[in-house]
C-alpha cells in the first residue's frame, strides 16, 4: 500500500506540478516504508530509483537540479521531526536494521538470526521446481503449492510455475514486458519525468516478485494497468 502510495504521489506531483506538496507527502511515505514494510520493498525502491537514474540520467539530473532546494528543506524538516520523536526514531532504526540484515543474507546466502531462514527459501525453491517439472506447461492447479506444502514459496516465479506452469508464468510477466515496450515506444515524446517514474516502479515491482508472491497484490495490478 505504501509503495503504491509513493508512486501515486509522485505521479500526482508530475501531473499537477504541485512540487512542494508532493515532495512532503512522498518523503513521509518513504519514512513509513523504511519503518514498517518488508526488506524486499525497501531494497526494491532503492534498486528502482538507481535503475531509473541510470536509464534516464539526463531527466534525473534535471529534476534533481530543479528540486534540490525544496528537497533539502523538506528532508531537513523531516529529519528534525524524526530525531525529535524517540518512538519514531526507534521504529525507523528497526526498519534500517532489517534492511541491513536483508543485504547481509543476500551477501552470505545463509541464515541470519531474526530473519526468514535462507535454507527455508532454498527448500521451497527446490520443491517448486520439482513440482513444476511434473506438469511444466499447465502447472498443478490454483494454489497447489500452498495446498501441497502448507505455505507459499515466497517467490512469484516459483509459485506461478508450480501452480500455473509456463503458461501462467509467461502471462504474468508479459505485463512487465508490455510496460517496458511501451516505455521504449514513447522515448521520443516530451513526457518529462513520467517515463523514468514508471521505469523505476517497473524495476521495483519486478525485483519484489523474486522474493514475494506479488501475483496476489492488488496494488501491483493497479500499477500494471
> Can you tell me the distance from the alpha carbon of 89 to that of 35, in angstroms, rounded to the nearest whole number?
9
Find cell 512542494 and name the residue. Answer: 20
Q: Whole domain around residue 153: which residue ranges?
A: 2-224
pLDDT for residue 117 is more than 70 = no
DSSP state of 216: G
> What tens digit of pLDDT does each residue of 164-184 get?
999 999 999 999 999 999 999
Query: What is the Cα gyration radius of the chain?
Result: 20
SS3 content of the chain, % helix, strand, coil (to 5): 80, 0, 20
Here the cell at position 41 is 520493498
- Work out the average pLDDT over 38-63: 91
Q: How many helices (H) and strands (E) does the chain have?
A: 10, 0
Assign 84 a pLDDT band (cuts: 50, 70, 90).
Answer: confident
Average pLDDT along the chain: 86
pLDDT for residue 161 is more than 70 = yes
CA separation (Å) from 218 to 3, 47, 121, 141, 208? 12, 22, 24, 21, 14
Assign 100 a pLDDT band (cuts: 50, 70, 90).
Answer: low
What pLDDT was estimated at residue 107? Answer: 53
What pLDDT was estimated at residue 106? Answer: 54
What pLDDT was estimated at residue 73? Answer: 87
Where are the extended beta strands (E) located within 133-176? none
> Can you tell me the distance from the alpha carbon of 48 to that of 200, in angstroms, rounded to the nearest whole number?
4
Structural domain count, the chain: 1
| 125 within 8 A of 153, measured Cβ to Cβ | yes
pLDDT for residue 109 is more than 60 = no
| 53 within 8 A of 204, measured Cβ to Cβ | no
What pLDDT was estimated at residue 179? Answer: 95
Secondary structure class of 166 (helix, strand, coil):
helix
pLDDT for residue 60 is more than 80 = yes
Amino acid at each position: 500500500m505504501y509503495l503504491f502510495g509513493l508512486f501515486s504521489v509522485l505521479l500526482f506531483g508530475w501531473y499537477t506540478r504541485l512540487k512542494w506538496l508532493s515532495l512532503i507527502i512522498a518523503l513521509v511515505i518513504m519514512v513509513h516504508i523504511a519503518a514498517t514494510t518488508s526488506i524486499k520493498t525497501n531494497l526494491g525502491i532503492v534498486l528502482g530509483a538507481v535503475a531509473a537514474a541510470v536509464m534516464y540520467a539526463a531527466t534525473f539530473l534535471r529534476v534533481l537540479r530543479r528540486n534540490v532546494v525544496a528537497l533539502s528543506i523538506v528532508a531537513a524538516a523531516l529529519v528534525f521531526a524524526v530525531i525529535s520523536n524517540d518512538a519514531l526514531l526507534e521504529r525507523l532504526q528497526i526498519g534500517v536494521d532489517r534492511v541491513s540484515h536483508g543485504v547481509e543474507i543476500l551477501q552470505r546466502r545463509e541464515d541470519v538470526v531474526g530473519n526468514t531462514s535462507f535454507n527455508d527459501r532454498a527448500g521451497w525453491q527446490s520443491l517448486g521446481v520439482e513440482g513444476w517439472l511434473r506438469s511444466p506447461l499447465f502447472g498443478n492447479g490454483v494454489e497447489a503449492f500452498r495446498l501441497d506444502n502448507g505455505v507459499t514459496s515466497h517467490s512469484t516465479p516459483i509459485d506461478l510455475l508450480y501452480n500455473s506452469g509456463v503458461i501462467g508464468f509467461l502471462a504474468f510477466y508479459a505485463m512487465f514486458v508490455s510496460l517496458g515496450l511501451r516505455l521504449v515506444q514513447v522515448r521520443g515524446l516530451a513526457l518529462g519525468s513520467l517515463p523514468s517514474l514508471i521505469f523505476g516502479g517497473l524495476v521495483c515491482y519486478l525485483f519484489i516478485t523474486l522474493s514475494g508472491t506479488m501475483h496476489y497484490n492488488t496494488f501491483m495490478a493497479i500499477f500494471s494497468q
